[in-house]
Structure 1
Amino acid sequence: MNFKKRFLFVGTFFLLVLFFILFRLADLQLIHTESYSKKGVNLIQESVNQRTQEVVIDDGRGRFVDRNGDSLRNQAEPSLVLFPFLKDITWPADKIAEIVNISSDELKNRLQHAKEPLVLSSKDRLSLSSSELDEINDFKIPGVFGIYKQSPMEETIGEHILGITGENAEALRRKYPERKDLSYKTKIGLTGLEEAFDEFLLPDEATKLLYHVDGDGHPLFGVNVKYIADSNPFYPVTVKTTLNKNIQEMAEDVLAKQKVETGGLVLLDVKTNEVLAMVSKPDLNRSNSNTLINHMLQPLFPGSVFKTVISAAAIEYGLDDVTREFNCNLNLYGEKDGEQDDGMLTFARSFAKSCNYTFTTLAEELMEKDEMVIEDTAEKLGLLGPVGWRGTVFHYQNFKQFPDEKAGRVWVDEKDKKVERAIDQTAIGQKDVKVTPLGVANMMATIARGGQKDQVKIVENILYKNGTNMFSFTSNSLEGEKISPLTVSKLQEMLRLVVTDPEGTGRRFQTSPLEVSGKSGTAQTGKKNEKGETLYNKWFAGYFPSSNPNYALVVVEMDTTSSQAGTNAAFYDIVNELAKMD
């Protein structure tokens, strides 16, 4: 009896294993042949891939250009393609060698060790013209092709703005469940504009050279290489940004020259409120997740740059009496600690010399009048944000050009509005005040424009492959109240005084080729370096030329000591370079 039970048990077990194996085979070969596993692997396509060698000429993903149509990330590079089967046949290597200026022996030697198609381009000392590519193709040598291959540019720019892509099969299927045609290896946008415009940038079909081989890599159907091209006249699309490639390159070079290691800059066209350049430091490194952050879209302690807000509120509430003087020998709490010795200063000169006591006094008086005055004024200036372009784009009701942008803030605890010391710290851009460099640039552009506050735009159009327009991004105003023309006029005078006053914090810019108006800022971060030195965020924000503003610029260096900061030097260099370009 026991023997029968064991026999039945073992027999049942083997039957279940057999049924499981049969089910797996059916699943692989009949049921989920085109969408296997959570990744949605196309098993038929993968089996074909195992029997092919291919050169992807263009992966079909959309691309980015600057405002003048210059490519920002990829370039069509003239290349020579040699397929491995050439080593097994006789072909006129000397003719190709003569055109590409590489010896026929070297070509054959490199082919001898190639298991995949060999692609030679500029990194291999090749410099081929369009006519030379045509000459190569005119020979009609099987396995030899002269092509323009989409390749990453050697010197990439605007990495934090453009963002990165990567393979994530589960995220791809979750985000685009209806796109069954997409391979599980399709790259999706993970940050920046790649993420924001991902649905528009997704490839329709890649352009490639395809060659079938057997298991040993030998020709399966003879030496017939197929050219597979995307015939869709509309895709891939081109995203036309507002960036100026030359200015972006210059801005990145300046920050590197001035050794700004953490921080960055934002440069806006005042009249259109479009981004001309944006740089975030440290440089993007995919292997270090900390470098993926675009600091220009993250809230930072602004320090005395925030006194611009207190000044605007004081003017709006009539607290800007030109005859009134403040004792700038006192610290922000009204105490004499021996560190301040600026004497009695007017409101305007207090702004120029960045006297803390003046603005803590004014902030306390303002809060007695209206507890919402500081954040309301910051909103009027277009500072708090988000300030990046957002609106309806096709079926997107709240499309954002800056998906990583964070909003600024003034208060965290409402109770602090009744605490004198909390008000004092807030008045000088400390305590809980945090704003983005993009928001600060927008505030300066708003003042330079006369008070008109607009959303910041970084993309102008999405263009079809054939050059026709798919979508244009309008210039949108920011909602809410604006500061009065009188307040704007007085702020403009004060921002200019920061530079023209012999003791102003921006006096360095008196020698700039373009008249500069602006405000400096030094904010404690609460951090110290390994030497025990206090670390600051060092700012300079402004616009130029003062009389007819074209540019609004913010430069910030994070977590630096005052003596090492390259902020003002970088701002100065940018003004100089732009003057040369103009």
Structure 2
Amino acid sequence: MNPNRRMLVVGIFFILMLCATLYRLADIQLIHTESFSKKGVNLVQESVNQRTQEVVIDDGRGRFVDRNGESIQKHAEPSLVLFPFLKETSWPAEELSKIVNISSDELKGLVSGTKEPVVLSKDDGLRLTKAELEKINELEIPGVFGIYRQTLLDESLGEHIIGITGENAERLREKYPDRTDLSYKTKIGVTGLEKAFDEFLLPDAETKLLYHVDGDGHPLFGINVKYIADSNPFYPVTVQTTIDKNIQEMAEKVLDKQKVEKGGLVLLDIENNEILSMVSRPTLNRSESTTLTNYMLQPLFPGSVFKTVISAAAIEYGLDDATRQFNCSLNLYGEDDGGQDDGQLSFERSFAKSCNYTFTTLAEELMEKDKNVIENTADKLGLIGPAGWSGEVFHYENFKQLPDEKTGNIWGDEKDKSVAKAIDQTAIGQKNVKITPLAIANMMATIARGGQKEQIKIVKNILYKNGTNMFSFTSNSLGGEELSPITASKLQKLLRLVVTDPEGTGRRFQTSSFEVSGKSGTAQTGKKDENGHTLYNKWFAGYFPSSNPRYALVVVEMDTTSAEAGTNAAFYDVAEEMSKIDERKN
């Protein structure tokens, strides 16, 4: 190549590189200073942040309270704030010492070796009253403040219910393109109610104390600390859930006591079809993705709990002949394999003792009458479709309170409806049958109400900051066909017989303070433990008190050996505790 031409090419290359560099600098300093990169970084604000030190009092995100208005996860913690520039001034540490009961030398020592504000609260052994906070602020010491700071409660409750938040700048901009006021560090809901109500919970502004410093951390504009507060009277909002904080705490302790490591429970207020408590295990751990799943909203093998559906269908099709006897010494396929020895049982006693053969026989007879009878009956009981509240909320036409809730399933293949063994396995809640614990709790509540099925609520109201109502969630019908009151009444008797029959699978509840009605279930999961033992899902689902139902409860322990399951014990304990709670109310 000609030397002159080579120099020309090199020169053009360097000119292009210089232009690219100049454009990059212009982009950073002039063009996209307030929305740089896909994250939408505000470079001007970040530059200011590098020259400030701050204490965030409240991040401005909305919060959750229980049905009685008590905070579920956050509360205002009395705290003492000391800014580091105190070490360069003469300040009356002795006066502060008298109020906070910390020596003046210790107070001075706290700020002597730090460049960041020091915040002391209960976790540091400092317990301050409202009056003491007022005395601290009356001293008017620059750099010393007594504040109420939003912090997480010592013991978080309902972690799977509330869910988690996280930083995801790209997702934030994609989800809220019009909210250019939001910092790229703004947290958004990832799971649970944090996810469902994210748009309502987004912060309007932070409440914080801040001051400006130079590169060495020295005051840049004197020792004045600015208090920046959100003056909006409407935000942040408060989401009032249907959860009862005391009941939720009790339920979590019961599962811990009974060593339910995987599974959980759902407790409903039958009258309003509201969730009083919902617990999922294992406990939520952000660093382990497998713990983020709320199993109460996931379809699981229900086992013999599903016989309630077959019973309902049998009643509606007139197959519940009280005089008919079933040979319950046969297995589910009608074979005499020596595994059963219950002899001849009526329909009612078959339900109480959970005889497989009775319900596989009835299922085959029902399928001859109607190929869709099982799923149609399950739908009448609110088992298949999502049971959680959905409806119109402002511009949302189909807002869901529980967006993580999955739908149930009955059949894996339409051809199975013509295969006897597939029908038999389906009848006892195996094969492809999977139902969420939430839906099973809803089935029990539906039966207890006489067949009336409703959507399940977990949130009652969204409240503005000033306490006025932003939105209230009405009670909605679940839609579709319902069980006849006669069928529901007969199911109520069957569920009670499970407990009252001397050989019923729920006979241990005969000593419960409440009269309990319910159904047990044991479902094979297809898994084995390290010792080769078969693992099951163990259930007990029901309601109480039987004569005047107020609570529907389902407890499930997953992947457990039958002998180790704490399901029935956990159900029993929760019923006992609810009895005590009702006594205190009265």
TM range (shorter): over 0.9
Q: Which residue is equivalent to 2:504?
A: 504
Q: Which residue is equivalent to 2:97?
A: 97
1:358-398 CA distance string (max 9 Å, x none)? 00000000000000000000000111120000000000011
Q: Which residue is equivalent to 2:402?
A: 402
3-12 vs 284-293, which moves further: 3-12
Q: What is the SS of the residue equivalent to 1:323?
A: coil
Find the aligned partners of 1:333 and 1:197 in 2 and give their Cα distance. Answer: 49
Structure 1 position 578, deviation (Å): 0.7
Q: Which residue is equivalent to 1:309?
A: 309
1:72-108 CA distance string (max 9 Å, x none)? 0100000000001111111111111221111122222
1:443-462 CA distance string (max 9 Å, x none)? 00000011100000000000
Amino acid at match of 1:307: K
1:441-500 CA distance string (max 9 Å, x none)? 000000001110000000000000000000000000011011111111110000000000
Amino acid at match of 1:455: Q
Q: What is the SS of the residue equivalent to 2:524?
A: strand
Q: Which residue is equivalent to 2:238?
A: 238
Q: Which residue is equivalent to 2:60?
A: 60
1:180-220 CA distance string (max 9 Å, x none)? 00000000000000000000000000000010001111100
Q: Which residue is equivalent to 2:424?
A: 424
What value does the CA root-mean-square deviation take over the aligned residues? Answer: 0.6
Q: Which residue is equivalent to 1:526?
A: 526
Q: Which residue is equivalent to 1:381?
A: 381
Structure 1 residues 431-442: aligned runs within 5 Å: 431-442=431-442
Q: Which residue is equivalent to 1:261?
A: 261
Q: Which residue is equivalent to 1:213?
A: 213
Q: Does 1:153 align with 2:153?
A: yes
Q: Which residue is equivalent to 1:270?
A: 270
Q: Which residue is equivalent to 1:292?
A: 292
Q: Which residue is equivalent to 1:543?
A: 543
Gaps of 5+ in 1: none
Gaps of 5+ in 2: none
Structure 1 residues 138-217: aligned runs within 5 Å: 138-217=138-217
Amino acid at match of 1:342: D
Structure 1 position 7, deviation (Å): 1.8
Q: Which residue is equivalent to 2:487?
A: 487
Find the aligned partners of 2:104 and 2:3 in 1 and give their Cα distance. Answer: 76
Structure 1 position 239, deviation (Å): 0.1
Q: Which residue is equivalent to 1:22?
A: 22
Q: Which residue is equivalent to 2:581?
A: 581
Find the aligned partners of 1:113 and 1:154 in 2 and give their Cα distance. Answer: 28
Q: Which residue is equivalent to 2:130?
A: 130
Q: Does 1:456 align with 2:460?
A: no
Find the aligned partners of 1:45 and 1:415 in 2 and give their Cα distance. Answer: 63
Q: What is the SS of the residue equivalent to 2:76?
A: strand
Structure 1 position 329, deviation (Å): 0.2
Amino acid at match of 2:497: L
Amino acid at match of 2:176: Y
Q: Does 1:41 align with 2:41?
A: yes
535-544 vs 106-115, which moves further: 106-115
Find the aligned partners of 1:97 and 1:536 in 2 and give their Cα distance. Answer: 61
Structure 1 position 133, deviation (Å): 0.4
Structure 1 position 3, deviation (Å): 2.3
Q: Which residue is equivalent to 1:282?
A: 282
1:344-367 CA distance string (max 9 Å, x none)? 000000000000000000000000
Q: What is the SS of the residue equivalent to 1:563?
A: helix
Find the aligned partners of 1:319 and 1:502 in 2 and give their Cα distance. Answer: 25
Amino acid at match of 1:557: E
Structure 1 position 2, deviation (Å): 2.5
Structure 1 position 110, deviation (Å): 1.8
Number of matched pairs? 582
Amino acid at match of 1:33: T
Normalised TM-score (structure 1): 1.00
Q: What is the SS of the residue equivalent to 2:531?
A: coil
Structure 1 position 273, deviation (Å): 0.2
Find the aligned partners of 2:103 and 2:519 in 1 and give their Cα distance. Answer: 62
Find the aligned partners of 1:68 and 1:491 in 2 and give their Cα distance. Answer: 34
Find the aligned partners of 2:98 and 2:120 in 1 and give their Cα distance. Answer: 15
Structure 1 position 4, deviation (Å): 1.1
Q: What is the SS of the residue equivalent to 2:562?
A: coil
Q: List structure 1 segments (4+ residues) > 2 angstroms apart after TM superposition.
A: none
Find the aligned partners of 1:217 and 1:276 in 2 and give their Cα distance. Answer: 50
Q: Which residue is equivalent to 2:412?
A: 412
Find the aligned partners of 1:420 and 1:10 in 2 and give their Cα distance. Answer: 81
Find the aligned partners of 1:528 and 1:13 in 2 and give their Cα distance. Answer: 66
Find the aligned partners of 1:523 and 1:147 in 2 and give their Cα distance. Answer: 54
Q: Which residue is equivalent to 2:78?
A: 78
Find the aligned partners of 1:280 and 1:455 in 2 and give their Cα distance. Answer: 20
Find the aligned partners of 2:337 and 2:233 in 1 and give their Cα distance. Answer: 72
Structure 1 position 570, deviation (Å): 0.2
Structure 1 position 10, deviation (Å): 2.1
7-16 vs 282-291, which moves further: 7-16
Normalised TM-score (structure 2): 0.99
1:101-132 CA distance string (max 9 Å, x none)? 11122222221222211000000111111111
Q: What is the SS of the residue equivalent to 2:172?
A: helix
Q: What is the SS of the residue equivalent to 1:210?
A: strand
Find the aligned partners of 2:113 and 2:568 in 1 and give their Cα distance. Answer: 55
Structure 1 position 8, deviation (Å): 1.2
Amino acid at match of 1:395: H
Find the aligned partners of 1:161 and 1:515 in 2 and give their Cα distance. Answer: 29
Q: Which residue is equivalent to 1:5?
A: 5
Find the aligned partners of 2:440 and 2:95 in 1 and give their Cα distance. Answer: 61
Find the aligned partners of 2:213 and 2:266 in 1 and give their Cα distance. Answer: 52
Q: What is the SS of the residue equivalent to 1:177?
A: coil
Q: Does 1:339 align with 2:333?
A: no
Structure 1 position 12, deviation (Å): 1.3
Structure 1 position 299, deviation (Å): 0.1
Find the aligned partners of 2:105 and 2:221 in 1 and give their Cα distance. Answer: 28
Find the aligned partners of 1:78 and 1:423 in 2 and give their Cα distance. Answer: 62
1:1-23 CA distance string (max 9 Å, x none)? 82212221222122111111110
